[in-house]
Structures are given as structure tokens and as C-alpha cells.
Amino acid sequence: MTSAHPATDHSTDRRGFMRRAGVMLGGASAAALALGTGTAAAEDAPVKPSIDRGSRAMAAGVAYVIADATPPWRLWDTRDLRFDPYGKLGSGGIRNVVTPYTDSFGIGGVVVNVTITDTEGAGYLTVYPKGPRPGTSTINWAGGGQIAANSTQVFLAGGASDWNIDVYCGGGGRTHFVIDEIAYLVPVL
């Protein structure tokens, strides 16, 4: 059994996939879309409302190409000790999800599917790029024993650790979560 993180073990495979798909060489068979989402928060939210990197990019006129990342790429699973030795994420907790990317990949973000399972109590997860936490949720649950999924896009940028994703658990509950990358975003130059 290896002690290396699964994302690290597969990063060379991902890079090979990207090269085969033509993304790293400048050509990809994908749809070009101008993407960006703004986050909003209630006035009484404990976290200052912010705009995510996608909206800031849109304000500057940047568009992204959605490149197919088939098959889905498992970035994190709190049920699997190879990914996460801590298990369920509880209220007020933050988990740093490692992605296999760096500046050299030329990726502006990822489209991920977030699944919650084996929930306890009521709560929510916020999935966001490393940095200030937005005052919105990505997925919510109302009680114990629930399984649910939601897709979101997370824009990545910056230094070495900024290519990671943070997951925050709010409310009074706790849950296992799984994050699968289903596509990645490449800025159109």
C-alpha cells in the first residue's frame, strides 16, 4: 500500500489524458462558452458576500472552453482512507481537497459533482476555490441518512496551493462527501 495521495498517484495519468485530448497542445474538441457565476448572500450571513473568480473573469471579458474530462475523475472521498483519514466533515469544519493541477496545465477551473452521503442532522456544504469563503451553499441536507448530489464549477488560479478546493460544512450536521471532476475549464486566449 502506498502512502501517496491518490490524486498525486494519478496526476501523470491526468496529464497524459490532457495531452491526448489536445488541451495542453492548444487544440481541444470542446464547446467555447463564456462562464461565470456570481455568489450572493443574505444580508445577515456571517461571511462577507463575494464574487467568485469566474465572475471576476467575466467582468474582464474572459471566456472558458469546457473540455470533456471523461471518465469522471475522483478528486476526494471522505469514506476512503486513501483520500481522507478524518472521515465525515462536521459543522464549522473545512477540508482542503487536492487537485492534480498546477499553473503549467493551463486550466482555469473544474466542473465537479458533489455528493453527500450518510448525513447526520441538517447542514450544508460550500465548495469554493482556495481563498475567502462565499456566503452561499453548494448542497444542502435536512436530516440524517440522506444522499444527494449537485454540480458546480470552481475557478482555480494562483500559486501552488491555490489550485486546491476548500469544502466548508455549515449548519449543525455532518456528512461524508465525494467530489468527482466531470470536466475542466480552459481559458480562451
Look up cell 503549467; give the residue: 104
Q: Using 50, 70 and 90 to split pLDDT, how confident is the model at 107? A: confident
Which parts of the chain are beta strand (E)?
Answer: 31-33, 64-77, 89-90, 94-97, 109-120, 123-129, 139-141, 148-155, 165-171, 174-187
Range scoring the smallest mean pLDDT among 30-44, 73-87, 92-106, 173-187: 30-44
Distance of alpha carbon 104 from alpha carbon 91, whole angstroms: 35
Q: Which residues contact 100 (CB under 8 A, 6 or more apart)?
A: 7, 8, 10, 11, 14, 15
The answer to which of 53-67, 84-98, 133-147 has the lowest mean pLDDT is 53-67
Which residues share a beta bridge with 90? 174
pLDDT in tens, 110-168: 899 999 999 999 999 999 998 889 999 999 999 999 999 999 999 886 655 667 899 99
**Which pLDDT score, from 0 to 100, does residue 69 have?**
61
- At 3, list the grid cell: 502512502
